[in-house]
Amino acid sequence: MLTRKQHELLLFIQDRLAKSGVSPSFEEMKEALDLKSKSGVHRLIGALEERQFIRRLPNRARALEVLRLPDGGGAPAEKTRAPSPAAPPVAANENVLDIPLHGRIAAGSPIEALEGQSSLSVPAALLGPGEHYALEVAGDSMVEAGILDGDYALIRRAETARDGQIVVALIDDEEATLKFFRREGAMVRLDPANRAYDPQRYTPNRVRVQGCLAGLLRRY
């Protein structure tokens, strides 16, 4: 059974797809459901994906497909997917993919992440299996790991991580940061790669892994 907000979001996406063939933006979904931040939209989308009501179309920003509606709500007349002309342009090189670019993420003090919904062209060789998105790095706390201010971090979506992996960690469902993930007794420790910064320690219920670092892009 869906929560009220999950049900509202599913119907909003289905209605927008039926009218225009294009998924609503995260900003439009946030406003339609009167949510305070886009992180709430991400949680609802994730829950609908988990329950197999929707799926994300791979390697295309703003591309959702409604697979089914709740019992009693009927099924979509036909599965509606964003038509090819509405997708972000892909470079002529078949080995380049477009992945969603979700704003900036801190490699220092946490800042709000997963904002915005543009795309970034990425060589396919930099991406392994799974679903990916990109974040622009802000700050210098990961410089000793070779991650510099202005780099683009390529993130594989994941909800769990092994000790020592570099992750996007969402803290208190509000702020996100890029750090090494480690477990320390009953705590989660987020380690910088810059001796000028101290590790951050949180209880596990305050930290949610949003993805693991898969690669980096740097522009000169």
- From 23, 39, 119, 141, active-site residue: 141
Which residues are registered as beta bridge partners of 138?
106
pLDDT in tens, 187-207: 999 999 999 999 999 999 999
Please say if 23 is a catalytic residue: no
Q: Model pTM?
A: 0.56
- From 23, 30, 38, 179, active-site residue: 179
Give the CATH class of 4-81.
mainly alpha
Same CATH fold, 96-217 and 4-81? no
pLDDT in tens, 46-65: 788 877 888 876 545 557 88
- With 50 as the cut, is the pLDDT of residue 186 above it? yes
Q: Domain 96-217, what architecture?
A: Ribbon (2.10)
Q: What is the pLDDT of residue 87?
A: 36
In whole angstroms, give the CA distance from residue 87 to residue 83: 7
Quick check: 59 and 46 in contact, CB under 8 A? no
All structural domains of the chain with their residue ranges:
4-81, 96-217
Lowest mean pLDDT among 55-59, 105-109, 210-214: 55-59
